[in-house]
């Protein structure tokens, strides 16, 4: 085979590996989680008191301050060590800064409002030993442990989901080689009946991920099988995420510039379409497109969705269906030019043409591939002016 002169640049990205912990360790982890909660609540109370003292100057405690104050506390805890305490302190300090709150929510260990278990650790604490892992002297077994082979991590955590199962979560570095896309650009319409339609006529079906399980969930709840219902909810969420992951990967592989309609899901949740909107997982899909696009050096742009459903993508006249009452209209014929349109594909085409000619906000976007990945996701309000130009 002849040598390829092309240099393939290999980049790395951080992915979180989630491995299910075998059930034999659940009691131990549940006990450790209670102690983590105690550390969290202590840190929460201490830093709130320091921020609003009875007398003297207020002080905003950092994670490091909390470490100093909690030094030596580890000997009073049976399950967790000083490294875990430090990780809890650091997390608490980060969240307080992020939300700009002197006091955060308490972590609850028992009862109906129990917080989902969480036990953070530093990498040095987690040791691999044959077929099991060791964490503060306790042996753990996880499913698919071979996935950890050859990975390096700085920190991680054990986390519990709503079903009560525990997962080992570690961020790991993965390398990948970016490939050139086949096509230049695409518009995506995030709809209600179909999750997404592309301007090339492709569709990803929404709702399926949840709706076919819905009856099973209702049956389980009627019978009082709470755990089973939660398990089914988890299955539905996982299926939906999986379908969206596959779709976003495909789009990022195929297209250099990706225009996504800017739908305000907050507005639609108030209407009777709430369930479909939540189903569709738009936020999830947008996030996936943005980070995958950034890694692959694509441009992902959010385009205003105004009039994209009503306007005809061939002639630009506003002859399409409008308003909530017309949501059932899937296929329509333009009164201006006589073209037959699929509602969602037509909207995707409009989003594409709106994205192609953005107004003066950022007028220097002529080169399709010249943009650095750092600018890969930006925003433009293009709806009306592009349509006016098309008309």
Here the tokens at position 320 are 């399409």
Residue 169 class from Cβ within 10 Å (0-12 exposed, 13-18 middle, 19+ buried)?
middle
CB closer to Zn ion out of 192 and 334: 334
CB closer to Zn ion out of 258 and 311: 311
Closest approach of Cβ 340 to Zn ion, in Å? 10
CB closer to Zn ion out of 236 and 312: 312
Here the tokens at position 321 are 């269906």
Count the site residues for Zn ion by CB under 5 A. 6
Quick note: the x/- pattern for Zn ion over 322-351, rule CB under 5 A, is ------------x-xx--------------
Closest approach of Cβ 390 to Zn ion, in Å? 10
Chain centroid, CA 306 distance in Å: 25
Instruction: Please list every residue from 288 through 327 that binds Zn ion, using CB under 5 A.
Output: 312, 314-315
Rounded CA-CA distance 369/326 in Å is 39
Residue whose pair of structure tokens reads 């507005």 in the numeric block: 267
CB closer to Zn ion out of 23 and 337: 337
Here the tokens at position 322 are 């409008």
Per the CB < 8 A criterion, the answer to whether 96 and 52 are in contact is no
| β pairing state of 138-140 and 132-135 | antiparallel
Here the tokens at position 226 are 């709470």
Closest approach of Cβ 315 to Zn ion, in Å? 3
CB closer to Zn ion out of 269 and 337: 337
Closest approach of Cβ 369 to Zn ion, in Å? 32
CB closer to Zn ion out of 195 and 319: 319
Closest approach of Cβ 310 to Zn ion, in Å? 11
Closest approach of Cβ 320 to Zn ion, in Å? 9
Closest approach of Cβ 162 to Zn ion, in Å? 49
Beta-carbon contacts of 192 under 8 Å, excluding residues fewer than 6 positions away, are 206, 268, 273, 276, 277, 280, 327
Rounded CA-CA distance 147/131 in Å is 12
CB closer to Zn ion out of 21 and 345: 345
- Which has the closest alpha carbon to 163: 244, 85, 228, 240? 228
| β pairing state of 183-190 and 194-198 | antiparallel
Rounded CA-CA distance 304/263 in Å is 8
Rounded CA-CA distance 366/334 in Å is 31
CB closer to Zn ion out of 142 and 312: 312
CB closer to Zn ion out of 115 and 314: 314
Closest approach of Cβ 224 to Zn ion, in Å? 56
Chain centroid, CA 7 distance in Å: 32
Query: Residue 318 — φ and ψ, nearest 5°?
Result: -85, 70
| β pairing state of 126-129 and 203-205 | unpaired
CB closer to Zn ion out of 164 and 336: 336
Bridge partners of 134, per DSSP, are: 127, 139
Closest approach of Cβ 317 to Zn ion, in Å? 5
CB closer to Zn ion out of 90 and 311: 311
Rounded CA-CA distance 146/155 in Å is 18
Closest approach of Cβ 90 to Zn ion, in Å? 58
Residue whose pair of structure tokens reads 């995958």 in the numeric block: 292
Helix, coil or strand: residue 260: strand
Closest approach of Cβ 338 to Zn ion, in Å? 7
Q: List contacts with Zn ion (CB under 5 A).
A: 312, 314-315, 334, 336-337
């Amino acid at each position: 085979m002849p040598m390829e002169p092309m240099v393939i640049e290999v980049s790395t990205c951080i992915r979180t590996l989630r491995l299910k912990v075998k059930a034999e360790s659940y009691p131990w982890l549940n006990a450790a989680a209670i102690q983590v909660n105690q550390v969290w609540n202590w840190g929460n109370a201490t830093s709130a008191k320091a921020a609003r003292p009875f007398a003297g100057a207020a002080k905003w405690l950092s994670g490091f301050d909390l470490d100093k104050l909690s030094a030596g506390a580890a000997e009073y805890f049976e399950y967790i060590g000083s490294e875990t305490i430090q990780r809890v302190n650091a997390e608490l300090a980060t969240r307080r800064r992020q939300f700009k709150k002197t006091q955060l929510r308490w972590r609850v260990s028992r009862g109906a409002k129990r917080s989902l278990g969480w036990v953070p650790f530093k990498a040095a604490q987690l040791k691999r030993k044959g077929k099991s892992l060791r964490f503060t002297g306790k042996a753990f077994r996880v499913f698919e442990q071979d996935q950890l082979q050859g990975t390096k991590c700085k920190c991680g955590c054990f986390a519990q989901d709503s079903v009560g199962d525990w997962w080992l979560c570690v961020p790991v570095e993965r390398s990948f080689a970016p490939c050139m896309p086949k096509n230049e650009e695409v518009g995506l319409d995030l709809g209600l009946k179909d999750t997404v339609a592309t301007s090339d006529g492709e569709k990803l079906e929404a709702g399926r991920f949840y709706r076919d399980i819905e009856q099973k969930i209702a049956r389980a709840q009627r019978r009082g099988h709470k755990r089973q219902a939660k398990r089914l909810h988890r299955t539905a969420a996982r299926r939906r995420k999986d379908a969206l992951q596959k779709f976003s990967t495909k789009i990022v592989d195929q297209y250099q510039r990706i225009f996504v309609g800017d739908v305000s899901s907050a507005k639609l949740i108030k209407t009777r379409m709430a369930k479909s909107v939540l189903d569709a997982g738009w936020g999830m899909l947008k996030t996936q497109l943005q980070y995958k696009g950034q890694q692959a050096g694509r441009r992902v742009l959010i385009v205003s969705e105004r009039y994209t459903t009503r306007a005809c993508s061939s002639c630009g006249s506003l002859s399409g269906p409008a308003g909530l009452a017309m949501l059932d209209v899937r296929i329509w014929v333009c009164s201006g030019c006589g073209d037959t349109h699929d509602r969602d594909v037509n909207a995707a085409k409009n989003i594409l043409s709106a994205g192609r000619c953005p107004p003066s906000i950022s007028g220097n976007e002529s080169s399709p591939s010249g943009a650095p990945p750092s600018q890969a996701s930006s925003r433009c309000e293009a709806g009306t002016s592009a349509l006016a130009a098309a008309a």
